[in-house]
Structure 1
Amino acid sequence: MLLSNLKLRATANSLFIRLFASFLIVVVILVSFNYFSLTFSKNKVRDEIINYNTSNLKSTTDNYEKEFELIKNQLLNLYFNENVQLMYFNGSTINYEIAAKTMQDIRQITMNSLLYLDNLILYYRKPSLVLDKNSMTSDRTFFNKFYSSKEYPLAFWQAQFQNSTNFRVYAPSNFYDIPFKNDYNSLGQAFPVLVKNNWSQDFYMAAFLDMQKMFRAFHLSINDNFFILDADGKQLFTSSTDEKLGAPPTYDYSKVYTKKDNYYYFYCKGAVSGLIYVNVIPDAFIASQVKLNVSLISLLIVTLGISIMASLLFSFGFNQPIRRMVASFKQYNPLIPVQSRINEFNQLGSQIKLIHEDLSRKNSQLQSFAYMSSVKKIRSNLEMDFIDRPYVIVIFELTYKKRSQDQTRVEQNWSYNKKELIDFEFKKQYPESVTFQIESTRILSFAFMEETDYPALKDLLFQMKQIFDLNKEEVYVTMAVSSFYSSAAQMTEAYDEALHLSKRRCLNDETQIIDCYQALDLVTMFLTQQQEHEFAINLQAGNETETLQIVNRFLAQMNKRAVTSLQFYHFADEIIHKTLKTLTALQADYTHLGDQARLREQIIDCHTYEQLASYLVEFLTSALELVKRKKEESDPITAFAMEYLENNYSGDITLELVADKLNISSGYLSTYFKDKTGINFIDYLNNLRIRKAKEMLLQPGSRIQDVARKAGYQNMNSFNRMFKKFSGVTPSEFRKQAVSFHIS
């Protein structure tokens, strides 16, 4: 009997039982109250509001988006209208009969009441002409007088020719007719909608939608609190007259609605325009709280009383053992466990010694975090046990040759192992040193020493280099050593110096030691303006030999001057950027080469000069093949022009002469040739003549004057100027370089 009483008493004194019983009382009371109140009213009302307004806003969004899709399709169909195409191909010549027919076509479209169009324009870059349903005027007259807007001046519409966007809905604006100065006739508010065609860059169309008519037709809710935002959350349109409503909260894509103050904000994003539609509904549930019946109020009062009593009892019962626990900690003796009526508290006393040992072990980790915070200038409450004596910072930058998702775990293990190795080696020679991993591929060591001990540090780093080189096929290390510092306040300065030194490594896959005494000065090398021009011309012309020669020659100069790996990567990135830009201008499909982000990753994967040079040659060869293939595509006009130039380059050739043979205008030939080849007619001719001149200059016994005449230049000054423009050197310098190259 006594034993049973002791067990029962021990169970009753259990902290778990006491806490569980106290929490259970509070939980049961709160669950009961929530069940009989929130379930009764709030959930039903809120769910009905959410479901109704979600479907309502979706219907409104669908109506707006279908309208934008319809406008887009109508304008794209209009691009292929015979009259519109004839107006476009006439260029600067205006055929007023065709223009009248085009205006009639525009009027027929704007008269369709289902399109809600206030106006529709065709804007031709040449000859700066705008056609709408009522007029045919210059762009300056139209946008400054007939359809003027402060938000969309003439400069805005002119800039759209360079805009690559094919379809976009802009913010609505007030438009005015200004027949005389300071005489404004309002045309109402309208949504400008821009539609362009990739094949017709010299003109585009713009529709102006009547936003009020669209709102009355598409907004089906009885509530007029409606907003339209752009993709960045900027307000484009609102129909709300409620002054209490401010700007809608930020759109959260993971939620259907957002609650702010006493309103629900329902969001829906359009698939066609990218606009965000917002419907705002007052919180009807708040008003319903006033109508709670007497039974719920009575239940609330009773529940409140019981909750207060249970809380007082629970607080009193829990407070007493906690006070004893605090007193026991103040009188802590690890050999004498603290005694209490609560079983768990007795076990806690026996664990205090283990906790103390664990805290001692983790103190070193906290010190590492304190050093890291100081280096990164991160404000923290950690105290740093800094030794006030000279120190240096050594950064170990790890570069992995194999970069893939499968390598992530392996790289993490290697980084950890190398961090432990560095810490071990440093503490053997400098016991007060601190080593920690500051980033996934960067390890930092503080070595406290006198300046006279610096040679010993270099010896240690050379020994570690031999160890690192055992894994050189997988990873190599850059060891950057700062100058000597003595103050904790200089940690960031020392770290920045070491980080700057680490960026001076040369382009190879060897482990390198870089310090302030041996670091090479940074050498900055860029292609000259003439070299850039020569590269661009040869790339556009598809001249593989000349293009690769320019790049390889510059890479060799960089390697000879021992520039940093970052300079090599920057040069390669610039070459790729210029090449992709040229391919884009030629409308060549280079998707198989990869985007610039992917190509930049491939550049960084080149760890030696030979790898980078080989990669650029391979890339440029593929790109030049695309250029050649693009130029070889069947096109009778450019094919005839190129063949004629190839056969008659030595004669007196002009753009007008070739255009006459094709029975087309010289202006049309110039635009067409540039569009198809990516290079001007004159530049193509001069580049062809200079290439032929180079071939003739390499022939033994050739005279520069004879070469100039045979290449089509009757004036030596013109020949010298063009030769240097397209080659970067004069004819005589070119011949000297060629001779030197063959001799070497």
Structure 2
Amino acid sequence: MNWIRHKSHSVFFKIFLSFLAIIVLFGLFYAVIFQLFKTSLQKEIIDNSQRSVHDTAERFNNQFSRLQVLMFDIYNQSELIGFNNQLRHHAGNEVNYLKARDVMMQMRSDIYNPLFFLEDTLIYLRESDFVLSKSGSGDAAYMFNRSYTSPMYPYSFWRGYTGHPESFKLLPASTYRINNDLSEKTLMPFVYKQPDSSYEVIALIDIDKAAQSFFGESNDRALAILNAEGQVLYTLGSMDQDQLPPFEAGQKAVLKDGTYYFAEAGSDGLTYVSAVPYSHVSSQLSRLTGGLLLIFCLSLGVALAASYFFSRRLHKPVKQILTTVLNRASSSAMPEPGSVTEYDLIQNRIQELFREKEEIRDRMNKHKSVLTSYSYISQLKSINTDISEWEDFLSDDGSFIVVLYHIRFRMNPVYELPLQTDQAVRHMLEHIHLITAERYPGSHTFQIEKNEIVSIFKREEAARLEELLLEIKDMLNEEKELFLVTIAVSSQVSDSSEFNQAYHQVKGLTAQAPLLEESQIVTTQRVLPTTVNLSPPQEKGLLDALQSGSDGRSLQIIDQALEAMQRKEAGIAQFRFFADSVASKILSYMEMAQIDKASVQSLKQWSARLAECHCLSDYQGVFRQLVEASCALVRKKKDTGEEPLIAMFMNIVHNQYAEDLSLDYLSAKLNLSSAYLSVYIKEKTGLNFSDHLLGIRMNKARELLACTDLTVNEISQRVGYLNITSFNRTFKKAVGMTPGAYRRQHVVQTHASGS
């Protein structure tokens, strides 16, 4: 007890106890916050599942609405009505089967639209027992029993189908065997038939593809679609009707047999039920809980270690002072103990220190200069360079091979490059240097640029170089979530003076490398795609989408172009060129739309991020941010007025009509293709570019002829015609008389009206 009481007054004990009190306080605070967070997180996971089934219901509702419009249009085609009447009242050669072909051609354009998720659309002419489809026409028995075979919907089912009081009817999905491609698919029939009608339209929906698009693919979730009577129309995943729990009025989530069921009633009368195992929710909580608990334990361990460490550090100097003082102390009486034992001892020995003051001062004066300079002497040998390795390389007359490691750091979830990239490159340099130097002592490895490492191998080492590079590639691929490396290998170079040529060769190979999401080795040049820009239809579609503020359509066009380049294996430099080109078009339109400069400047910051993209997902993510921000500004701005592009076009033509204007000049100024600009002007104004320019020039020429004394030659030049003969011919064709005749006629009319 005396030992404990004695130690409790020490500096170490008091400081360590203070640290422990703070740690305990923060630990309790963390436990409370963690419990609250865990409860809210579980609710958030459940709410997220509920939102997922709600979004799925909305997407299906919109899809079925689009199909209803499509089926209604097909049903009411004049060609279909006429063809059906001919089949009912005529026979043989009297029936015009070309009408059936027109109906099928129209159907194909809609069926092949991927947004409808249609396998086929069948038109069943009941009285004639005849069916039209995308691939042809034929007898109903053949179509339903051979072309589209289903045990649930054979020919006898459709022959006896009497319709429904409603015009549109969704039938349960069934497995169909499709004779055309000998495959099986799960299709959902969607029937449209008017009462007392002699034919009906049957849309066969590829429900698996639609469900995977709207609900997503997941191994531990399931989806069921129920009609108004509670009958299951379709299930994605493992779910039976007997498993579905009853839902009370207004109840949207039920936990049954270890599974959460989420229901959402759509406006189309269907009910969508999502099944998520409780283990899915609990596993997310467990992972997060385990992670947070591990962090807490690590934090607690670090805090305890730091507390002990800092307590010892604060205690050690005092203990050393006491040791020095006690070693010189005389046997004098001890003062009354205070709250801190160490400082009491210092107080007790202070008098002896004063007696030794003069002696210590003399000794310190003698050694002051030595003590002052001693601490700086050992800081001079910290420089390490690779100059000796360069000298060895330059002095070697043998041939060699250059290997370039081009490092591209991937962006994080907020589309920013990670920090400490320089440190990561240095670590990579050290690792590559160790591997290559161990295998090939004569090799040299350097860092050329901030994201480039170069290794040089002698000719005799080239035979085994492929094995080494494959090993380095596998090592780098272990961190492909953080960075991607393109390893380019040059051809053999015979002299060190040709190093610059070899370096430019491997630089070119890295620019030609495909945009893969893994490290790769490039040894030879390849043929690149010739076109890496938006096609005129895509450019027009993008501009139209931007003008309407549709970020979804804009992103779809850009993503399609990026994915097409990925399929064609475009090079890294080509992706950069394409990204800069599209971003430039977007920013140009923002300026034409008269968006304020501060907002455009923020868009330019996102555009600058494209230079840091190194994989397809990076480009798609940054373009998503740029396009969504741009369309939001357009929607905010778009509350009045005419089209900004047309306004700018008219402003240029009215103010620069006297210059040598051309469609190519305007397209370059507006950053658009001339073909697209010509079509756009014609579409929006009803006149093409030359008609606008001609009209403005002729109106100005008539004004100058009537109101000035300028000669015809001067007027010709003022309205943009350097050749007076061309001006006279154009003016006569536009006005019906020559410029001189027009001026004389105007003078006569003026005198006549004045008299």
TM-score by length of 1: 0.33
TM-score by length of 2: 0.33
Larger Rg: 2
